[in-house]
Amino acid sequence: MDIRLGTKNLSALLLVGAVALTLSSCGAPAHATAVADNENPRLIVYAGGESPGVEVQERADAKDLRGAPRAFKRFIGNKAQRLTDRSSCTDGYVGVTVERVRTDGYSVGGVNDCGGYRALWAEVDGRWTEIAGSQDVWNCGVLKRNVVPSSIAGNRCYDIRAQRVRHYHQR
């Protein structure tokens, strides 16, 4: 069988193939993250010096998380609003304090309701969620399972099996 295609026919055939490939890839999983964010994630540091970080007490305060992903701002704003709405605390700080965010889906800060704890948040399956909360050193298993960067979690974690603090490093 001898098939001869002119330049126009070959170009049209290639275009149809490219469109078909593009359309077939539209069923990508919901947890896929944009390649640009993964290749060059940015670390945004809000805490330092006299600042504990960005304090978010209600949904509208999340606008102060400059440079953070939009979905993270929405997540933190909603979390802070729920805390404030449900709190019975009358003489203490109620809200969320964000210390650092990485644009590829990791953050650390504090959750406060007349006392509180440090929290690790991550984007899991396309949604931001709290992956750990502690008043002490992070659990090594949680950090490793979620591949939390050291720029967010620090360089120490607690190994429950060995019952000791270990060095932790993740890019």
Local confidence band at 14 (pLDDT 50, 70, 90 cut-offs): very low
User: pTM for the full model?
Assistant: 0.76
Helix and strand totals (H; E) in the chain: 5, 8
User: What are the b/e assignments for 3-20, b being 16+ CB within 10 Å?
Assistant: eeeeeeeeeeeeeeeeee
Local confidence band at 2 (pLDDT 50, 70, 90 cut-offs): very low
**DSSP string for residues in 100-150:** EEETTTEEEEEEEESSEEEEEEEEETTEEEEEEEESSSPBHHHHHHHT--H
> H-helix or E-strand containing 97?
strand 94-102
Q: Which residue has the higher pLDDT, 18 or 127?
A: 127
The pLDDT of residue 38 is: 54
User: What are the b/e assignments for 127-139, b being 16+ CB within 10 Å?
Assistant: ebeebbeeeebbb
Summarize pLDDT for 113-143 with one digit per residue, the tens. Answer: 999 999 999 999 999 999 999 999 999 999 9
Per-domain residue ranges of the chain: 42-167
